[in-house]
Amino acid sequence: MPRVTIHRKAHFNAAHRLFNPAWSDEKNLEVFGKCSNPHYHGHNYELIVSVTGEIDPVTGFVMDLSVLRKLIQSEIEEAFDHKNLNVEVADFKTVNPTVENISVVIYNKLRTKIRTSLDISVKLYETPRNFATYSG
């Protein structure tokens, strides 16, 4: 059967601060700019999750998109939406919540829930112009 990629878009708002605790505030400001603001700031994150696999001849699906939608909702949106990533999300207690690292955390959360015969890929927009992709 043909291998096809399906995509699901999702969205969450979250606050973060980029910083390295080993550095001074001055050094953090130099490296991370406005994103190192000690009082945090928010982003409107846009997420695209892509799943690639063979079309199931019975259903015509690579994966049921409503299952994917619910998975993103329960694993990602409920965990991240309207949260302070540094303070409220355990994954970022010791990991700097850059768009790169958030992508990896999202990928790892979804990877455990989607069967291994399907390849997955995450594209995460922190701003309309800044985004990261991760495929494991």
Q: Active-site residue numbers? A: 35, 82, 126
Nearer to Ni ion, 40 or 61 (CB): 40
Tokens 């700019």 sit on residue: 33
HEC profile for 52-90? EEECCCCCCCCCCHHHHHHHHHHHHHHHHCCEEHHHHCH
Taking the complex as a whole, the smallest distance from the CB of residue 99 to Ni ion amounts, in Å, to: 8
Q: CB neighbours of 105 closer than 8 A, spacing ≥ 6?
A: 91, 92, 95
Q: Whose CB is nearest to Ni ion? A: 35
Nearer to Ni ion, 18 or 62 (CB): 18
Taking the complex as a whole, the smallest distance from the CB of residue 50 to Ni ion amounts, in Å, to: 24
Nearer to Ni ion, 50 or 101 (CB): 101
Taking the complex as a whole, the smallest distance from the CB of residue 55 to Ni ion amounts, in Å, to: 39
- Please report, as ranges, the residues that interact with Ni ion according to CB under 5 A: 35
